[in-house]
Homo-oligomer: A and B are copies of this chain.
Amino acid sequence: MNELGLVARIGRKQHRRDPRLIAGIGDDCAIWRPAPGEDLLFTTDFLIEDVHFKRGLYSAADIGHKALARGLSDIAAMGGDARFCLLSLALAPSCDAGWVDRFYGGLLKLAARFGVSLAGGDLSHADRVLCDIVVCGAAPRGKALRRDGARAGDAIYVSGRLGRDWRQYRRPAPRIDFGLKLRGRATACMDLSDGVSLDLHRLALASGVAASLDSIPVRRGATLEQALHGGEDYELLFTMRAGATPPRGAIRIGAIIEGQPGLVLLNGEPLPPRGYDHFRK
């Protein structure tokens, strides 16, 4: 296995080719021709062995799936359609050609489901598996959903019950379709990757408002603690004007209020932002 052979092998795995992708895998850069009237959305997310996953608990295909799903979830959070991705992948010494095939199999299966082209990336080696996904999405000009538009009086929703589910944890299902329904309707939106206590704090902070939670929809088998602080839900957290009708499946969890920016209350008591933080000492 050498780098040229590996790149050719990856390129062959992909069948459909997006006509807007003028050049994909194999040149110094991918070339993308933007459609008129569209804003482009960009996100990048690490997936690092022993930080974000253990190889003993994840198959190669799970890792490929999850690497892309993390990026797609950010596109969903902006109300975007997914367009293409680039993947930087460092292989550990024990990753053979079969592992690489299964990894890209998992990634490309999810990519095909959302019409995403693998446009390029970087290959390297390291002592453990390192992935960094770049996803480009698109939204009509000015229509991308942001975190900073929530106003006092808005209702707060999530796109589904909270609390880690093991299958969902290994193979998250990005809520792209749900996000598309929020375009022009939600006042603010983000994805729940680090726990609602921390993520709602971030949304409220960005919007300069406070938030009051009154009910938390806990997934069957999860605890309230997990639902509040657990992270890796990959559901959408969003706000809408009071009285606006949310998409089917949305669950109301509270309301935006005036108050100290970023403050989150649960049943009237301050809820500390205890979700996942890489740098909390």
Seen from chain A, the residues whose Cβ lies within 8 Å of a Cβ on chain B are 1-4, 6, 22-23, 26-34, 36, 38-46, 48, 50-52, 74-75, 77-78, 80, 86-88, 90-91, 119-127, 130, 132, 134, 136-137, 141-142, 144, 146-148, 190-191, 202, 205-206, 277-281
Contact = CB atoms under 8 A, between A and B. Distances in A.
29 contacts: A4-B202, A4-B277, A6-B279, A22-B144, A27-B148, A28-B190, A29-B43, A29-B74, A29-B77, A29-B80, A29-B144, A31-B39, A31-B78, A32-B41, A33-B39, A42-B86, A44-B87, A44-B134, A46-B130, A51-B124, A51-B125, A51-B126, A88-B132, A91-B278, A123-B278, A124-B278, A125-B279, A130-B130, A134-B134
A90 B48 contact: yes
B42 A30 contact: yes
- Copies of this chain present in the complex amount to 2
A142 B127 CA distance: 40
B88 A123 contact: no
Nearest to A43: B29
Contacts of A191: 28
Which of A27, A77, A122, A205 has the most chain B CB within a 10 Å cutoff? A27
Contact of A119 (B42, B50, B74): B42
Which of A44, A126, A191, A281 has the most chain B CB within a 10 Å cutoff? A44
A27 B188 CA distance: 11
B31 A144 contact: yes
Contact of A132 (B41, B119, B132): B132
A272 to B, nearest CB: 12
Nearest to A22: B39
User: Lowest 6 A-B CB distances belong to which pairs?
Assistant: A34-B34, A132-B132, A28-B77, A29-B41, A28-B74, A29-B43
A120 to B, nearest CB: 7
A34 B34 CA distance: 7
Which of A75, A125, A279 has the most chain B CB within a 10 Å cutoff? A279
Given A2-B279, A32-B42, A45-B122, 14 more contacts: A1-B279, A22-B39, A27-B148, A28-B78, A31-B41, A32-B39, A34-B38, A42-B119, A42-B136, A44-B88, A46-B122, A46-B132, A48-B124, A48-B126
